[in-house]
Chains A and B, each alone.
Chain A
Amino acid sequence: MRRDLRGALLLLLTAAVQSSSMSAPGKPVLLSCRSPEKETFTCWWEPGSDGGLPTTHHLYYERERLEGTYECPDYLSAGRNSCFFDKNHTSIWVDYYLTVMASNALGNATSDPFKMDVMEIVKPDAPENVTLRVEEREASPCLHVRWMPPSNTDTKSGWVTIKYELRVKKDNSNNWKEYTSGTQTHFSLYSVSPGGVYTVQVRCLLDHGEWSEWSNTTFVKISNYLQNERPLSMLISILSAILFIMAGLILIAKRKSVKQWVLPPVPGPKIRGINSQLLQSGGSDDVGNVLIIKQSFPPIYFVWEDQMEDYLIVTENEDWLSSNSQKRKKSLIPACFHFDSEIHSKESPCHKNDWEKDEEISQVDNNNKPFTNTGYVDFQRHVENVDVKHVDYSRVKEVKSDNILFLEKEKVQSSGYIHFQRQEGIPEDYSRVKEVESDNLVVLQKQNAADLSCKDEGNHYTDCALHKPRKPHVCTELSDSGYVDTIPAPPLM
C-alpha cells in the first residue's frame, strides 16, 4: 500500500514536471508565396514552438469570388511547412486569404491572415542550359552565350513574357559586368580578351515580377592564340616599313619637283614692255632703249593698237595753258589719208608712219614758242573713243589762194584732219587762221616766205620738216575735199 502510494506520487510528480514544458503550439507565421509560371503557386510558413507535443499544421484559405473556406490541397509536393496549389486550385486576379493553424494535444494556434494575389507573387526559376561558345576572330575573340527558358514556363501561348539578364566576370575578380538581353535567349560578348577565364550567369524575369536566381555558373577559357599570329604581323610591319623607306627615298630624289608642286612660285608683277630679265642682265643701253620710245617703234605700235590712252598736252606756254584746257583729247590722225573713202585708221598703212613722224617731231622741237610749242605726249587712245563729237569739222569747199579757204556750210564729222607743216619749226601741221569772215570762209595767215621750207602749192601738201625721208606712198594729195580742224574751243590765235 505504501509502495503503491509512493509510486503514484512519483508518477504524479513526473507528470507534473513533464506537464510544465508542454503547451499549446506557438503561432505559426506565413512567410511567403511564390508562383514560378503564373499557373501554380506555393506558400511556406514557419511554425512557432510546438509546445513539446507533436503539432500539426493546417493551412486554410478563402478566395475572392468563392464561397467557403478550403484547406490546402497538397502539403507534400513542396516540402515541409509548405502548401502547393496546383493548376486546378490556382486562379489569378483574385485575392487569397491564407491562414495556418498549428494544433497539438493542448491547443491550437492560428497565424495572421495572409492576403495575396497570384499576379503579385510571380518569380520564375533560373534559366537552364547555359552554353558558351568562343568564336576566334582575327582582331579579337567574341563569346556567344545561349540558354533556355525555365522548363516549367509556357512560352508558346504568350501567357508569360520573359526577359533575361546576364552577368560576366573575368578570372577571379569580383567585378561582374551586367547586360540586358530582352526576350532573346542568346547574347554575344565582344569585350573579351584572350588568355582569360570567363564566368557567365543568366537570370530571368516574368511579366513584372521578381527576378529569378542566377543560373549555375559556366566557365570558358579563351586560348591565347595571339602568339601564332606574330610572324604574320611582323612580316606585314616589315613590308610596310620597306614601302615607307622607298617612298621617302623617291621623294628625296625628286625633291625639286615636289617642292615645285607643293609650293608653286608666285608670279611677280609685270610691267609691260619691260623685260625684268633684261633689266637684270642687260646693260644701260638696253634699259634706255626700253624706257625711251625712240627706237622701239614696233613694240609701241602694237602697244598702241591694243591700248586706249588719253592724250596729255604738255605745254610751257602759260597763256596757252590758261586759255586752253590742259588735256585735249584728240585722236592721232594720220597725215595721210584717203579723201574719197572712209578713214579706217587701223587699216590705213599711213598710220604707222605718221605716228613715227609725230613722235620724231615731238622729240626734236623743243623751242619755246607761244602756242606753237606744244608737244604732245600721246597716250594711246582707241580711235573710236576720240571725242570726235566735240570736234566739229568743216569740209573745205575751195581753197582760193594760199591763204583762203572756203568751207562748206554743212558740218561733217570726221575722224581725220590734216596737219599742215609750219615753217617756224612748229612740229604740228597747223595753219594759223587769220580771220573767219563768214560762216564758211576762213582766211589763213600767210606764211613767211623766207622761212618757208615747204610751200603750199595750191592743193598740194608737202611734207617738209621731217628728218627722215618719207616714203612716197605715205604722202597723199590734198584734194578739194580737205578738212580743216575747227576746234570750238578758244581760237588758235
Chain B
Amino acid sequence: MEFSNSCSSFSSSSVDSTKPSPSESSVNLSLSLTFPSTSPQREARQDWPPIKSRLRDTLKGRRGDDTSLFVKVYMEGVPIGRKLDLCAFSGYESLLENLYHMFDTLIICGKRDRKHHVLTYEDKDGDWMMVGDIPWDMFLETVRRLKITRPERY
C-alpha cells in the first residue's frame, strides 16, 4: 500500500512541524472531512432484516458499532499529544487526512522518507511499527498508540 503516492511532495525546511503553504501543496484535500460515525444513521427497523431478537441484540451491543477506539497521538518533539478515535475512520487514507488537519502537516505512511513525517504505531507487543503494512481491520486490533516521527535531515 503506497499511501504516500496520494500526497504531493514538498520541501520541508525545518526540523519541527511546518505548515505547507497552500500554493505549494497540490494535494486536493477536502476540508470538510466527514467522519462516518457522524453521518446520520438510519433508524434501525425492528423487523428487517429478518433475524431473531437474540442476534439483533448481540449485533447492537457490538464494540464495533457504537463504541470507539481512542488512541494517543504524539508528534515527535511535541510533548503534548492528542487523542483520536480510530473507529471514526474507514481506512488509512481517512486517518491520514485527519492527521493532516490535526497537525497541519503532511504525513505519510508505508515507507520511510527523509522529507516527510512518517506515521508509526505501537502494537500490542510494545513494538514500534510502520503504519500501513497490515489490513486496516487487523491494525485496529493491534494498535495501542500513534507517533508521528520527524523527517530525518542530513
* A and B form one complex: no
